[in-house]
Amino acid sequence: MKKNSVSLAVLGALMAAGSSLAFAAPDWSKVPKTDIHVFHPGATPVEWVQGKGEHSGASGLKKGETCAGCHIEDGKLSLDIKRLQSKELEPKGAPKVGTYPVGVQAAYDATNLYVRLTFKAPAGGADKSDKENEVKASLMFPNAQVPMGEQIGCWATCHQDARTMPGADDKKTKYVKAGAFDLMQWRSSNKSFDGSVTDKRAMEGGKAGAKAEGAKAGDTYTVTFTRKLAGNATLAAGKAVTFGIAIHADNAGGRFHHVSFNQTIGLGADGDIKAVKQ
């Protein structure tokens, strides 16, 4: 009995070790990095994007085209940054840096998706309402029920009546009219959040089991997110998933972030970012 007990104990230890190795964090030195350029969007909610005469892409969206399809060329932004920084589209004052690159890496295993962001957070912000956090980094994933989620990404949650928009209700958060986003966020006060956006934004109680950790070395932040493949947005090997990035730099709050257009992560499939299988 003693011999069998020892054997079972050793087998159990080996199985536990194998399990932890199977789902260990990726070796990021073996995962390719792609730059995604984020930009300050100003006060441009989805209603502005779809409005007549204000945005030339409205007709394209009706045809099924994507924001990224028009505004990203060879990995670079094709965008009127000066207009987004103008009083016309940012009446309160825009950050001095209109756009900057974020290095993105992704990997996955049988249970989780791992996404790593590397960036230098610019100074010169016009809004410093978050005194507790110099930086916040967020990822959002829409599910298939979000109207135009794959076309416009995070813009599906951004409405003209939401908080920090000019003249809007300061208590109303981001929301979608159908479907749901998985929302995950890391804050430089060393906090992480697993949330969602449905008819309102919730920073806790998400379905993706998201965790995040980050650190600053010199002038560079590195933030790593881990989420389950299951969630509001269900991820699977062999498929691509839409996601978006938002970074609040220089103690910014509300809409004074820098965001990406809709991008895709391919899990063993084509995508703007190709996740490496672990």
Instruction: Give the lowest-confidence range in 3-7, 72-76, 220-224.
Output: 3-7
For domain 27-277, the question of CATH label 3.40.50.1450 is answered with no
pLDDT at 13 over 80: no
DSSP-assigned letter for residue 71 = H
Q: What is the mean pLDDT of the chain?
A: 92
Vertex 128 angle, CA 127 and 132, to 5°:
150
pLDDT-derived band at 21 (thresholds 50, 70, 90) equals: very low
User: How high is the pLDDT of residue 58?
Assistant: 86
pLDDT-derived band at 51 (thresholds 50, 70, 90) equals: confident
Single out the residue of 200, 146, 153 nearest to residue 178, CA to CA: 146
User: How high is the pLDDT of residue 25?
Assistant: 81
3-class secondary-structure state, position 46 = helix
Q: Distance (Å, rounded) from C-alpha 41 to C-alpha 69?
A: 17
The share of the chain scoring above pLDDT 70, in percent, equals: 92
pLDDT at 17 over 70: no
Across the range 156-160, mean pLDDT stands at 97
Q: How far is CA 177 from CA 21, 166, 200, in A?
A: 41, 21, 9
Across the range 149-161, mean pLDDT stands at 97
Q: How far is CA 137 from CA 56, 168, 177, 223, 271, in A?
A: 30, 24, 24, 8, 21
pLDDT at 245 over 90: yes
Q: Distance (Å, rounded) from C-alpha 57 to C-alpha 70?
A: 8
The model's pLDDT over 259-274, given as tens digits with 9 standing for 90+, comes to: 999 999 999 999 999 9
Please state the domain extents for the chain: 27-277
Across the range 241-246, mean pLDDT stands at 98
The model's pLDDT over 93-148, given as tens digits with 9 standing for 90+, comes to: 999 999 999 999 999 999 999 999 999 999 999 999 999 999 999 999 999 999 99
Listing DSSP states for 212-231 in one string gives: EEEEEETTEEEEEEEEES-S
**Strand-strand pairing, 263-267 and 273-277:** parallel
Across the range 191-197, mean pLDDT stands at 98
The model's pLDDT over 208-217, given as tens digits with 9 standing for 90+, comes to: 999 999 999 9
